[in-house]
Structure 1
Amino acid sequence: MTEPLEMQPLGGFLDALASSAPTPGGGSVAAMSGAMAAGLVSMVCALTKGKKQFAAIEEEVRSIHDRAEGLRRELQTLAEEDIEVFGRLSAAYKLPRTTEADAATRKAAIQQVTRQAAEVPLRTAQVTAAILPLCTALAPHVGRLIVSDIGVAALLARATVQSAILNIEINLAGLDDQLYVHETRARIADLAIGLSEEADGVVKIVRNRINQ
């Protein structure tokens, strides 16, 4: 059995990513990128908590830290789920289609797992979108020497949501259930509203503070 992503050394993960193996792929990379964004938020909080000069925001920073760690753990799980669902989809495509009954069973299995394959990046996008408000809250207040890390987190979060949406779309393209496709596209559109503007807003604050 393949070792879980979180147990693999970074070099091993990158070697697997660069190989001809289909996983890890774009979906798990997106989720791991989101996890890194959350990790940066956690790091900034860890470096801020308990400091006298930040006593006024101590409670908020602790709350953001807890939230960021929850999001990070969820995104790490989603990276694994993306690999797992790809395996199930690959297995569905290998089902026999010798008879009409076989073909119908195979098609139903493919449709079922393809829908699951769309749900994983959808959750990745939803979870990662929740990182941006944390960046917005922290950027004006944390130490100037670590504020750039919040900017990186915001940019990673935006890229993660956009990347996850691509993974949703590639799976929606293979689905026959047009009601589900329509509903999911509407959810994607909602996620994209204000995404770039929020990330740009964080970066603007970061750059202003760097150049003070």
Structure 2
Amino acid sequence: MDEKMLVDLSIIDFANKVASYEPVVPAGGCVMALSGLMGVCLLEMSVDSAYGRPEGEEFADLLEIAKIQLTTLHSELLTYIEKDAEAYGRVLSAYKLPRVTLKETEHRQAEIQAAALFAIETPLKISAACISALEPGIMLLPKVKQGVLGDLKIGLLVIKTGIEGSLTAARINLPLIKDAQLVRVLQARINELQVKFDMAMTKVG
């Protein structure tokens, strides 16, 4: 990556980097983290539209909890933009390692496996964070004023994209793992997140 962190780039520069094949980051995972982040931001705005105001007094405790949850997830997803770029970079670096001698080949394979695991763990964390944001978002649906209801629904849809995309990324990277037991463990985690996501979406309507 360049000297500037991805999260410090302007929207224009970030978009240009995504559009360009060189450098290869940010790519899909970074975009999914950003997608989840933007969805959470819309949910935060929806909370703020009622939090501490007369129309939100009836739900003050719920709004306060949602505000805390979403603020935490906001910070978390922000870090995953960089983490996913790092994960992709690790995979690329591992595949570029020499494999002339047996020792080099073994080292290269070990580095590929470690990098692949990181490249699966990161989108799984993005998915989990986005799924966690669905609960307060869904809770807000009948409680926010009409003027921000559309923004709230769009926020949930954007978060949905973040979940679907990051789970897809995890599935795509899974064949890189050669340890069959580890594959089963990771597949179980993917399945568990998918079930949580599916159950949450039944409440969105």
SS in structure 1 at match of 2:203: helix
Query: AA paired with 2:114?
Result: Q
Contact 1:158–1:196 at 8 Å: present in 2 too?
Answer: no
Q: Is the 8 A contact 2:49 2:144 kept in 1?
A: no
The answer to whether the 8 A contact 1:155-1:199 is kept is no
Identity, % of aligned positions: 27
Runs (4 or more) in structure 1 with deviation over 4 Å come to none
CA change 1:194–1:94 in 2 (3 A) is: closer
- Which residue pairs with 1:38 in the alignment? 40
Q: How many pairs are equivalent?
A: 203
Q: State the AA in 1 paired with 2:35.
A: S
1:123 correspondence with 2:164: no
TM-score when normalising by structure 2? 0.94
* CA displacement at 1:196 relative to structure 2: 4.1
**Gapped runs of 5+ residues in structure 2?**
none
What amino acid does structure 1 have at the position aligned with 2:159? A
Q: Which moved more, 1:33-42 or 1:46-55?
A: 46-55
Kindly state the Cα deviation for residue 199 of structure 1 after the two structures are TM-superposed.
Answer: 3.0
State the Cα distance separating 1:79 from its structure 2 match.
1.1
Contact 2:131 2:196 (C-alpha < 8 Å) held by counterparts: no
SS at match of 2:176: coil
User: What's 1:17 paired with?
Assistant: 18
Q: Spell out the pairing of 1:53-64 with structure 2 (5 A cutoff).
A: 53-64=55-66
Give the gaps of 5 or more residues in structure 1: 205-212
Deviations 1:131-164 (A, max 9, x none): 1111111000110110111111211222111111
- Who is 1:2 aligned against? 3
8 A Cα contact 2:35 2:158, kept in partner: yes
RMSD of Structure 2 on Structure 1 (CA): 1.4
Q: CA deviation at 1:18?
A: 0.2
Q: TM-score, normalised by structure 1?
A: 0.91
